[in-house]
Structure 1
Amino acid sequence: MGIYSVIMFKDQVVEGYKKIQDEICQALALADGNGRFEEEIWSRDGGGGGRTRIFQNGNVIEKGGVNFSAVYGKLPDAVKKAFKVENDEFFATGVSIVIHPSNPFVPIIHMNIRYFEMDEQTRWFGGGIDLTPHYVIDTDARFFHHLLKQTCDEFDASFYQKFKKQADDYFFIKHREETRGIGGIFYDRLKPENTGLDWEQLFNFSLGVGNTFIPIYTELIDRNRDTAFTAEEQEWQYLRRSRYVEFNLVYDSGTKFGLETNGRIESILMSLPPTVKWAYNHKPAESSPEAETLSKLIKGIDWA
């Protein structure tokens, strides 16, 4: 692929990701039924920018963000070292989504699809989707993983198991010894050399992951949006949100990359929920729904 073709490919990825952002925002606004996304166009010092779209205080979505960015410039030394690269010129584009629902029986969802490039030889796709239920509902977990497996299987039969394990390992809160939620898929540095797919196929896989978001989350909203809940169950929701915050601020590589490349702070931290609580040494009652949920926050469960 020549330099001109690489430039055209980069433009194709940008337009494809913008379309994903548009379609997901439209579907979520329709599913919520109250309000719309507020958009802010921003520019990054050093090169590029993005479209931040935030939804707040809806019928279902208490706070959510569907962000697109395409940024370029010079990599800081710390990022160069982490990526094990010599060149410092980079281009990165992606869509990042986090939705925090108001009902504790609707799960938190996160998705990220991204493309990173330094030159024709040094470039890759990354991304994934993971689900963080406040209460683990087995039928929802199986539905979620089944759709992810379907998407992966369209491209490579080995993808789902490989990327599921990577999600279990990545979305693990080491200081709590528990997974952030029920996992999903997580992948990074996908390129022809390590997948057997060409660049166009890898791009289509990235779009396929993005297009899986709408059927997954609108179904989970419809299943659980009208479930009645108590003040105690909402308190548990706030406690589980604190785990989400801990992971994002301590371990999340996207948060670190955004901060270290002088990204827009409001866009980077849009993943944080509006209301969170930390209770000292909180332990749910034995055999309670909360204890049952904690028992399932472990690696290696075969949900599909």
Structure 2
Amino acid sequence: MFSKEEIVASYQQLQDTICKGLEEADGKAFFEEERWTREGGGGGRTRIIQDGNVIERGGVNFSAVHGKLPEKIKAAFDVQEDDFFATGVSIVIHPKNPWVPIIHMNIRYFELNEQTRWFGGGIDLTPHYVIPEDAAFFHKRLKDICDQFQTDFYARFKKWADDYFFIKHRNETRGIGGIFYDRLQPDNSKLSYDQLFEFSKRLGEGFVPIYAELIKRNQNKAFTPNEKDWQFIRRSRYVEFNLVYDSGTKFGLETNGRIESILMSLPPQANWVYNFQPKTGSEEEKTLRLLKKDIDWVGSH
């Protein structure tokens, strides 16, 4: 059985590997690191990259925190224990080119005691313009990772992502989904804790190869001012989801997390346009039609 120290060391190594891979994919910008400590216990390493060839702004954050759970979080988790430990890696990348998608990944481990502990995480893609071939590639790679552990993981976690990354007040998904899971334990996964830890790591290791390929496919595509404006509108939807629905944002704020690290997921610029209506037959309209739940990207492409 792994220890907390092993998970911390593994997630730190993943942060290092992912940062190096993103720097290589961008070809210009480098991460800046800020180390921080949390008043209640623990701390982390916030790494920000910006003004690159491809990446306008992005963050790859590691944290390992512990202390007393606030009453609101205890109620949400339906637990009585006070002392908690949580560690994870969280990534959000906002690209310059509107044809390159926004990507988000989070892997995490949470523990109250030997009986109450779980893994959570996921990865999802938010294209400004949905490209079906790219969506199929993304989902196929995630299915390949899931299938190495449980054949039902992809279907379960894809539906979870479709439901989770849904902007209810807009009646649209944030993007084309991906996989999402939470409170994963042996009794609901048919895997041991060690296997769940391995699954968490494998997902993290898949991040750079997947996103580097999507960057390669789209980074040199020309774009118009109108397409850039559409990118800013789609970013505003991203902001709305993160501030209204995102559980990681809520947990960070409720546990007195570092605000700069929590809100690094927000883009450098987003625009809200009153009652925007895309032109009939436009690429923008096509994308909106594909921001729906339950699309079978793997089977239909």
Task: Give the distance between the partners of 2:207 and 2:185, measured in 1 at CA.
Answer: 23
Task: Give the distance between the partners of 1:22 and 1:86, measured in 2 at CA.
Answer: 36
Match of 2:292 in 1: 298
Match of 2:251 in 1: 257
Match of 2:45 in 1: 51
1:135 aligns with 2:122: no
Task: Give the distance between the partners of 1:212 and 1:161, measured in 2 at CA.
Answer: 18
Structure 1 stretches of 4+ moved >2 Å: none
1:107 aligns with 2:101: yes
Deviation at 1:158, TM superposition (A): 0.2
Task: Give the distance between the partners of 1:142 and 1:35, measured in 2 at CA.
Answer: 29
Match of 2:213 in 1: 219
Structure 2 unaligned blocks of 5 or more:
none
Secondary structure in 1 matching 2:268: coil
Deviation readout 1:90-126 (Å, 9 max, x if unpaired): 0000000000000000000000000000000000000
- Corresponding letter in the other structure for 1:68: F
Deviation readout 1:245-280 (Å, 9 max, x if unpaired): 000000000000000000000000000000110000
Deviation at 1:196, TM superposition (A): 1.1
1:270 to 264, 275, 294: 264
Task: Give the distance between the partners of 2:190 and 2:3, measured in 1 at CA.
Answer: 18
Match of 1:159 in 2: 153
Match of 1:30 in 2: 24
Matches within 5 A, 1:206-245: 206-245=200-239
Task: Give the distance between the partners of 1:85 and 1:293, measured in 2 at CA.
Answer: 41
Counting aligned pairs with the same residue, the percent is 68
Deviation readout 1:118-173 (Å, 9 max, x if unpaired): 00000000000000000000010000000000000000000000000000000000
Match of 1:10 in 2: 4
Match of 1:61 in 2: 55
Task: Give the distance between the partners of 2:24 and 2:205, measured in 1 at CA.
Answer: 16
Deviation at 1:289, TM superposition (A): 0.3
Secondary structure in 2 matching 1:93: strand
TM-score scaled to structure 1, two decimals?
Answer: 0.97
Deviation at 1:9, TM superposition (A): 1.7
Say what the alpha-carbon RMSD is for the aligned residues: 0.6
TM-score scaled to structure 2, two decimals?
Answer: 0.98
Task: Give the distance between the partners of 1:53 and 1:253, measured in 2 at CA.
Answer: 21
Deviation at 1:216, TM superposition (A): 0.6
- Corresponding letter in the other structure for 1:238: F
Task: Give the distance between the partners of 2:67 and 2:3, measured in 1 at CA.
Answer: 18
- Corresponding letter in the other structure for 2:44: G
Matches within 5 A, 1:73-222: 73-222=67-216
Task: Give the distance between the partners of 2:231 and 2:262, measured in 1 at CA.
Answer: 23
